[in-house]
Amino acid sequence: MWSDSALDIRAYTAEDRRAVVALWQAAGLLRPWNDPERDIDLCCSSSESEIFVGVREDRAIAAIMVGHDGHRGWLYYLAVDPGSTGQGFGRRMVEHAEGWLASRGVPKVHIMIRETNLDVQAFYRRLGYEDNPCRVMQRWLDPAAGALAAPKTADPGAGTSD
């Protein structure tokens, strides 16, 4: 466990599930096509991934999921309780996840951020992350999940769709 006077960071336990999912929900990270319960189970089933929980006064206030393929590390689901933002907890969670990757010999870390999420892009830039000149492509292996993520048709009188 890593600790400072304001935040203890430890590995996720099954008892954290409800609090971690609630953090992800409060931070606006959940999407209909991403089942957080399934993502937690998948992460916990691999030695190449981990979830870390930031605890303050016996309450989970931050979480991050991290994983790697041996060459590239990935950060997912960084969340800080909305009432606890602006205190450096997000930075501490990222640094902890980066340290976990480095201790396994992973030479670099990647994140995916939606193009429209300018605040999160700015956060990671402040931490030294740079734009990567590559395109992320996808293919849905589960047609039902892909249908959940299909873009909405814009109503001509209602502005733009997400």
Dihedral Cα 122, 123, 129, 132, nearest 10 deg: -50
Tokens in use for 26? 């409060």
Question: Is pLDDT of 155 > 70?
Answer: no
Both tokens of residue 55? 């605890």
For residue 153, pLDDT beyond 50 = no
Task: With beta carbons less than 8 A apart as the criterion, state whether 1 and 9 touch.
Answer: yes
d(CA 35, CA 155): 28
According to DSSP, residue 150 is labeled P
Average pLDDT value for residue range 89-114 = 96
2-149 has which fold? Aminopeptidase (3.40.630)
Per-residue pLDDT tens for 6-61? 899 999 999 999 999 999 999 999 988 889 999 999 999 999 999 999 999 999 99
**Those residues with Cβ within 8 angstroms of residue 36's Cβ, 6 or more apart along the chain or in another chain:** 20, 21, 24, 25, 30, 77
pTM of this structure: 0.83
Mean pLDDT of the chain: 88
The CB density around residue 6, as the number of other CB atoms within 10 Å, is 14
Q: Residue 74 pairs with which residues in a beta bridge? A: 67, 110
Query: What is the mean predicted confidence (pLDDT) over 104-125?
Result: 93
How crowded is residue 71: how many other Cβ atoms within 10 Å of its Cβ? Answer: 9
DSSP H helices, the chain, are 17-26, 36-44, 89-103, 118-126, 143-149
Q: Are strands 59-68 and 49-56 parallel, antiparallel or unpaired?
A: antiparallel
Phi then psi dihedrals of residue 23, to 5 deg = -60, -45
